[in-house]
Every structure is written in C-alpha cells, then in structure tokens.
Structure 1
Amino acid sequence: MGIAGSGMSALARILLERGLEVSGCEARESTTVTGLRSLGATVQIGHSPAHLDDADTFVYTTAISPRHEEFVAARESGKPFLRRAAALAAALEDKRCVAVAGTHGKTSTTSLLVVAAQACGVDPSFAIGGNLYETGKNAHLGSGPFAVVEADESDGSFLLTRPSSAVVTNVEADHLENHGDLEGIFAAFGQFVDRIDPAGLVLTCADDAGARRIAGYARSLGRRVVTYGTSADADVAVFDVVTRPDAVEFTVAGPGVGQRRVRVGALIGAHMALNATAALVLAADLGLDLDVAVRSWSQFRGVHRRFEPHGEGGGVRVFDDYAHHPTEIAASLTAAREALAGTGRLIAVFQPGTYSRTQTFAREFADAMTIADIAVVMDIFPAREEPIPGITGATISSLIELPPERVIYEPSYDAVPERVAEVARPGDLVVTMGIGNVYLLCGAIRDACAAARGAR
C-alpha cells in the first residue's frame, strides 16, 4: 500500500528482482508507478480492500493511517501483515547488511557507498531514499555479498534491521510525534546499536554531540567504534575542506583510509565532506579499493532531490532539495549561498512538512530561513496528519526576522511560481525545500521566471 513511496518502491523493486509477484496501489500516476509496472508490478490507482483479494501478504508504512479502510481490512484478514522495514530485512536476509542511520545525511552517504562499491566491481544490493543519477534506481538486488540500506529512525523501523556494521551520522530532535522527546530518540538509537553485530563496526561522527553520545554507549558495550570528523579527537580526520559551486573537496586521514585528497562532484556544502568520509570508512571496512572509490566520486552525478538542478529561466537558476528539518534547511541554504558565488540573491521556497513538526520547530525553521535573502513559505504538506488549529505556514513566516518585503507567505500551491517570479531577477538562485510535492513546482518556477524576464 503506497507502492510509489521512496522506501516502498525500493522494497517493491527488490522483491520483483527476487522473482516474487508484487502488486500495490497508489493515490496517483507517476513516473515511479510507470517504472514499477515496467518491471512487472501490478499497480492500481486508488485504494480499496479488494486489492487484498489476490495478495498473500500486506506491506505498509506508518505513513498510512491505521483507520484507512484498506489498512483495516488487511489487519482483519488474517494474512501476514508486515511493516516495510521488516519486509526489506526479510528480502535481504542472505546479505551482509551495512546500515546508514542518522537524522541527516543518510541518502547521500548511502549513495556514495553504493557508487564506490559498483566502481570496484562489487554488485551490492541497496535501498536508498532517492534515485541515483548513475542508474536511475533507488534499489537493486545485487549478486554481491552485502547490502547497503538507509536505516530510518523516523518511525523506529530501523529497529527491524540487524546490521553487520553501521554508521550514525548525527542524532537530533526530530519525529517527536513518534519518539516523544529527544531522550526517546536516544533510546531508539541505543536499541539500534544493540542490534548491530557485536563484531561489526559502529561508525559515528565526532562533530555531532548526539552521535558522540551514541559512540559512548557503543563503547560501554565493548563495541568496535570509529569516529570521523573535523574535531581534534576524531579517529579519521577531515580537514582542508573546500566547497565549490559544483563539488566539495577535502583531505581525509586516519586508520584504514590513509591520507588522501577527495573530490565529490554534484554534492556541495561542508556537511557533504562528512557524509563522504563516512562512506569512505565504510568502504575501507568492506575491503573496497579506496583509490577506485575516490576516483568514482569525482564524477558523481548526485541523487534526486539532493540539491538537484532544475535548469535556468530568465537568468534565474532553480534547484530542489529534500531538506525538511531546521538543521537541513540551514545546511542546504548555506551550500546554496556558496553555489550562488555572489552572482545574485538567494530565494528560499519552503514547504513545511506535517503540522506537528511545524508546531515544534517553527522558531528554528524561521531562524534557518534568514540565511536566504528572500524567504517564501508555503502552506503545510500534511502527510498523514490531521490539521492542528492555528498551525499553518504563517506560523513560520511570521517569525522570520527579515524585512517584511523579503518574507512571503503563499498558502496557494499553484500561486507560488508567479510569486517567486515577481521577486526574482537575473543572477538569483531559487531553492525549493520540503518533504512534500514542492519539487513539482520547479519547472513552473523556472518557466515563470523566464516569462517574467521576457515581459520586462
């Protein structure tokens, strides 16, 4: 159910490659639906309990309301009833699983490790939260002995995996609707560490206070812990970071990786140097050829929805990013300003995701948006949530400490491209951000800017 979601479509692809019959349903047609059908999946548009008739097992995510009639019918049917993560773990149970966990950076880190393994002639299985440009895939059942998977903490589903080794990139307050508070999140990550093979690697970022706390817990269990980062006490040091409009370059030095200069194409921002270092240490632990791995990254083409370029209109460049947490918004806008390279102004278009997150982080979102020159805030993408009275996109826009003429709250989704075009001028850079459907506006924003420029 919800077969075209980023995680569910990855699972469906792997099951299809296993030779299983896969059916599913989705709210609307999409390129993902078309792609799954081409692989042999039966995909219905719309939801109905009748979809269960020919199925042996029902697979779901917590994004689906437990009150949905199809969900209720499945639960009452007596058929096997599996969360997506449990089904994925079963589909990859014969593989050595490398898990990438953390509040931020999972998709980029996973993608870099997969590309490195493929360049080294290993055919890894993988499940990623975005499509790799190199292959156009977000998942694959490989012939190699290991699998690389994103371990999602949002709903606790990473506690259904049993990794042979894992990285924790960072730990921050997020998904409090599921974890309650920050201590609840740390408890979940502690349980995740408990599930890692006692002989396996626990890799953590020394620059993040939350990840350092998890490293301390892992050490208390006698686990093999390695840290990385720019901090002086990191086991694997990252230094001389140079961010460019189209890449990030840095030097890494430490046990297992030696000392080497690394360039990663398509990914920008200093935080990407940390993600690449995590992938490099994991690659070393897997026995991959690091020279080959690093060479493959110099031509890395990126991941969909990770500072993804969407062209130029009227001299205005348009990008999209999946950033949806205040820390991610700040990192994305900082990187965007570096890519702007002084040619114009930075216009941030943010679609908040879920009412609860908006309510919890309104102040932090507003502070992050001040990195932009012009802040455009859309209304909330609700996902599975019911509205919270008084919580809208204006909850954030009213707190943004920029001059009033540089803050725009636009509750109408369809009106956003024209509102952006009204304020954009040649040399500016627009970046859309959020978990919802804001990325679908990129082409319209580009075209509106082109049309406005032509009119002037």
Structure 2
Amino acid sequence: MEFSKVYFLGIGGIGMSALARYFLHEGKRVAGYDRTPSRLTAELEAEGAEVHYDDDVQAIPAAFLDPRDTMVVYTPAVPQDHSEYRYFCENGFTVEKRSQMLGHLAEGKYVMAVAGTHGKTTTSTLVAWLNRALTGGGSAFLGGISKNFGGNLVLGDGPRLAVEADEFDRSFLRLFPDVAVVTSADADHLDIYGTHEAVKEAFSQFVRQIRPGGFLVIKQGVDIVLDNPAIRVYRYAYDTPCDFYARNVRLQEGGHYLFDLVTPGGAVEVCTLGIPGWVNIENAVAAVAAVWCAAQAEGAAFDAERLRTALASFSGVKRRFEFYVNTPRQVYMDDYAHHPRELAATLTSVRKMFPGRRITALFQPHLYTRTRDFYAGFAEALSHADEAVVLPIYPAREEPIPGVTSEIIAERVTVPCRIVGREQLADEVAAMDTDVVVSFGAGNIDACCEAIAEKLRPKS
C-alpha cells in the first residue's frame, strides 16, 4: 500500500477498529473520527491513533490533509452528508468502504469467511482460535473482542485468514473466500435490502464467490439458492444427523455441555466447549467444519486431541453469552442479540441451561427500522422469559420514525413487561425479585452491565 497514513471515519466501530489496529501494526500513521468515545477508541489512542469526536473538517489533523499520502476508510454507518466524508470525497482522496479495504487485505490469503444474520461473530472467533491451536498460526479480522486473543485483530503466520463476513450494506460481496460458512439467512437489514428475498439472493451471490475448489459449510435448513458447481457443500447442525453435528449432548453444571462431534472423517468423542449454551455448541460445529475443510485442502491431518483441548480452552467473545454472575442463587449474563431469532435462541438456550429457574430479560431495541420490521417477533421472543424489561430504542444512525417506539414491543409481550430508561435500569433490576437475568442489545445497554452486576452480586 503506497499510503503512509490512513484516516478512518467511524474508527470506533468493531470492524473499523480492527483495521486501524492492523495499519498501526504495519507502521502507518492512523487517525479518525467517531461519534462518541468508547473503550475501543481509548485503546486505539493508547496504541498511537489520533481520534476526535466532532464532525468538523477543522478537527482533522493537518498531517492527514494531503491526498497523495493519506487513504480514507469509512463505514457505511457514516451518513453521506457527513462533512468530513464530503471533504475527502471532494478533494481527491482515495476513499474506500471498510469492506473494500478488507477485500484488499484478504488478497493472497486462504480466506475462511463466516457469514450469517446471527452466529457469525462467535463462529469466526472460534475459527481463528482453532486455526491457532491446530496450526500454530493464522490471522483474523473479527467482529467482536475475543477473550482468548484479547482483541479483534489476530496476526499470525501462515496463509489462513478468518474474517467475519458482514451482510450489512452487502459488504460481504467484497470477499472471495476459500471456505465460507453460512449460519443463517433470516430477514434483517430490510432498510438496505427491502425484502427477505433480496437478503437471500445476496447470500446466494456470496456463495457464488467462493473460489473454485473451495468449500461451503451451511447450516441445515438454510434456504438459499446454491448454484456454484465449482465447490463442495457440507451441511452442519446442532444435533440433527448430517455432515457435521453434535451427538450424545449432555448438560453439565453451570450450563456447559459434553458432546461428541461428528465429521465426515469420523467422530471426535467427549468434547466440551469453554463457554456455555447449546447455541454455542452449534457455532462450534460450524467452526470445526470450516477448519476441517481447510485441513482437507492442505492434505493435513486433523488432530482430534488438539481439537478437544482447543474447544475446552475457548473463552468466548465479549458480549456473547458473557456471564457477570453465575451462582445457584443468582445469574446475570449479557448478550449482543438484536434480532428476534437471536433473542429466542439465547432465551431457549438459557432455559435449558437453568431448568426450573425464573428468567428476566432486559432488552434494548436497536434501530427504528429494525423495530418497525420485527416488533412482533421481538415480543414473541421476549415472551420466552418469565418477565421482561424493554428500554427505549437505540437509534444509532437513524432518525425517529413516527409511531415506532418500544411500546409497540412491550404491549405485545405475553409475560409481565415494563419500559425502563437506561439510566434507571440498574436500580430497577436491583429492586426486582430476580433469579436469572439476561440483558440484550446492540446499542449501549452494555454500559449498564457492571452496574447491574454490582447490584445483583449481593443477591448471590
């Protein structure tokens, strides 16, 4: 790359911050804008990035104002009327989306891309962890903070590159993977796609872009057109027999499981995963399938004992099934779920993990458009709990839509439900008769987690 400086619009985003870290590691000078300070932006500043929080061309560091040596990367969440974005576009800078840059960095690598409307962050992080455990190398750009790696960027030897392939704004169509995983293709981002059929067609196009001789690992039952004749297709499931699945699944104390992992090459018996929940067993099956395919392509042996050790030592991802309190008298966990299918899967998983216990769900809806499109589904999912608390909608990049409020969810929930402001949430939860508490959302509900945990720990 001929540019010595890289400027990021939306530098605090999870995918953007991984790219920023990569270029810092490569010795480039890095700066950027984000709407609000966060833990990620603080870490980037500590690592040498220059970050500011006002949309103001005057705030761009002077060293980044020369289009001959500065490249600009932006997230599609940045609006087209953003003054800094307009400045760069109008003054001869090379300006690329995050997905375009990721596509460049993937060139020459053995790309293992995980796509899906849910499940992709944990699965891609597991792929990166298994690559490291089984080969000693591998790199990754992740959509969450891996607890094992301590970040969202993994740099390692060898050609394998694990990436989270994001369907938002059709970003994943910039990738041409060697191994692709598709975990789901549910209706989502309808503000971008318009219809569920358009979502599914984008996933079909993603599959068409798998390189000849490559592999597709797709969840059993995902309904998309598969018309790439140059690849091998494998199905995976939680416990339904197919190419890859878990059998003899046994619940252990604290929500962990023992299971046998069946592959086309035979079963790996008596596995356990370092994080709880049946949905994570399903994610692990998908990740193992991807790594198995890579081993097949390399003609490499698949070491069952090292695989068992790697699965057991996987620590998970921040905000994915993350426990703050876990005792026989009180449980509190937080999850990034922000789609009805994700909420339902997590709540049913929690119900299996803690049979007979009372579940309280705390949910912050993310985006007015998603709430408008899926309010009935959110209400149905929250009704899997014993009681629910709904926060006001987190708007992110959107302006309010008349008539779209948290009330249209809450009034349809079939268990006791109330609406509570984020600032009052910890105190409200403390005053409730709680047993198992789960918070959900892709907005800023995570800023409440430690305060909620502090209120609940005395109850444990």
Same fold (TM > 0.5): yes
Asked if the contact 1:248/1:272 (under 8 Å) is kept, the reply is no
1:382 aligned residue: 395
Q: CA RMSD in A?
A: 2.2
Q: Which runs of 5+ in 2 are unaligned?
A: 1-8, 65-69, 296-301
1:188 partnered with 2:202:
yes
The letter of the residue matching 1:273 is I
Is residue 217 from structure 1 mapped to residue 227 from structure 2 by the alignment? yes
Query: What per-residue deviation string (whole Å, max 9, x for no partner) do you get for residues 269-295 of structure 1?
Result: 2x2222111111111122253431221
Task: Report the more deviating stretch, 67-76 or 164-173.
Answer: 67-76
- 2:263 is aligned to 254
| Cross-structure match for 1:415 | 424
Mapped contact 1:316–1:424 kept (Cα < 8 A): no
Q: Quick one: distance in 1 between partners of 2:41 and 2:200?
A: 36
The CA distance in 1 between the partners of 2:270 and 2:260, in whole Å, is: 4
In the TM superposition, what is the alpha-carbon distance from 1:14 to its structure 2 partner? 1.5
**2:384: which partner in 1?**
371
Q: Deviations over 1:313-370 (max 9, x none)?
A: 995432110000001001111222233343x421100000001110111111000001
Q: Which region of structure 1 is more displaced relative to structure 2, 111-120 or 45-54?
A: 45-54
1:306-345 to 2 correspondences below 5 Å: 306-311=320-325, 316-342=330-356, 344-345=357-358
Give the direction of change, closer, same or farther, for the CA distance of 1:290–1:16 in structure 2 (3 Å limit): farther
TM-score with structure 1 setting the length: 0.91
Q: Distance in 2 between matches of 1:134 and 1:276?
A: 15
Task: Tell me the distance in 1 between the aligned counterparts of 2:457 and 2:116.
Answer: 39
Contact 2:255 2:354 in 1 (8 A): no
Residue 445 of structure 2 is aligned to residue 438 of structure 1 = yes
Asked if the contact 1:248–1:265 (Cα under 8 Å) also holds between the matched residues in 2, the reply is: no
CA deviation profile, 1:159-217 (whole Å, cap 9, x unmatched): 011111211111111111111111101111111112110110111111x332xx34x43
Task: Quote the residue 1:281 is aligned against.
Answer: 289
Q: Report runs of 4+ in structure 1 exceeding 4 Å deviation.
A: 230-233, 312-315
Residue 315 to residue 442, structure 1, CA distance change in 2 (3 Å): farther
Distance in 1, Cα, partners of 2:103 & 2:257: 33
Equivalent residue pairs, number: 439
Tell whether 2:143 aligns with 1:136: no
1:300 matched to 2:309: no
Question: What residue identity is the alignment partner of 1:118?
Answer: R
Q: Which amino acid aligns with 2:270?
A: R
Q: Deviations over 1:225-245 (max 9, x none)?
A: 111225766222432223443
In the other structure, the counterpart of 2:164 is 150
Q: Is the 8 A contact 1:97 1:147 kept in 2?
A: yes
In 1, the alpha carbon distance for the partners of 2:368 and 2:114 equals: 27
Structure-1 separation of matches of 2:82 and 2:112: 34
Q: Contact conserved, 2:337 with 2:442, CA < 8 A, in 1?
A: yes
2:404 equivalent in structure 1? 391
What amino acid is the match of 1:23?
A: A
| Secondary structure at 1:155 match in 2 | helix
- In 2, the alpha carbon distance for the partners of 1:257 and 1:149 equals 27
Q: 1:356 to 1:267 in 2, by over 3 A?
A: same
Q: Is the CA contact (8 Å cut-off) linking 1:313 and 1:446 kept in structure 2?
A: no
Whole-angstrom distance in 1 between the partners of 2:157 and 2:327 = 43
1:21 CA displacement: 1.8
Q: What SS does the aligned partner of 2:144 have?
A: coil
